[in-house]
Amino acid sequence: MSRRPERTVVQAPRFGKAKRRLPAAAQLEVDESVKRIVADPLVGEPKIGALKGVRVLKFKVQTLQLLLAYQFDARWNVVEVLDVGPHENFYRELQKYLDAR
């Protein structure tokens, strides 16, 4: 009987930098959102077009709405968190980042 490997989380450098810039309360909320994604990788809204394959989970910290972008590879059971931040220019910057790598 083959058992599926544990789900792993890989953090893109861009995500780490963006998370560090957030206030402490928001960082804790980001951690909770990552746990939600690990529990159910299909919880985020799938994107289309240039961001195909990327999912985005929206959540609020007090009055600020944040977006957390990630990709899920079902074959390897890996969640890669790509970026976190407010909506302003989020998708444009994310697309630039993905195109560059």
How many angstroms separate the CA atoms of 94 and 74, rounded? Answer: 22
User: How far are the Cα atoms of 5, 62, 75, 82 from residue 57, in angstroms, in the given order?
Assistant: 24, 16, 21, 12
Query: Is residue 50's pLDDT more than 70?
Result: yes
Asked whether the predicted pLDDT for residue 23 surpasses 60, the reply is yes
Task: Please name the residues in contact with 76: beta carbons below 8 A apart, sequence gap of 6 or more.
Answer: 5
pLDDT tier at 2, thresholds 50, 70, 90:
low
Phi, psi dihedrals of residue 78, rounded to the nearest 5°? -120, 135
Taking only the tens place, the pLDDT of each residue in 53-99 is 999 999 999 999 999 999 999 999 999 999 999 999 999 999 999 99
The fold of 8-100 is YaeB-like fold (3.30.2310)
Domain layout of the chain by residue ranges: 8-100
Quickly state the pLDDT bin for 4 (edges 50, 70, 90).
low
Distance, CA of 41 to CA of 18 (rounded, Å)? 21
Report the predicted TM-score, pTM, of the whole model to 2 decimal places.
0.93
Give the contacts of 53 (CB within 8 A, at least 6 positions apart). 47, 71
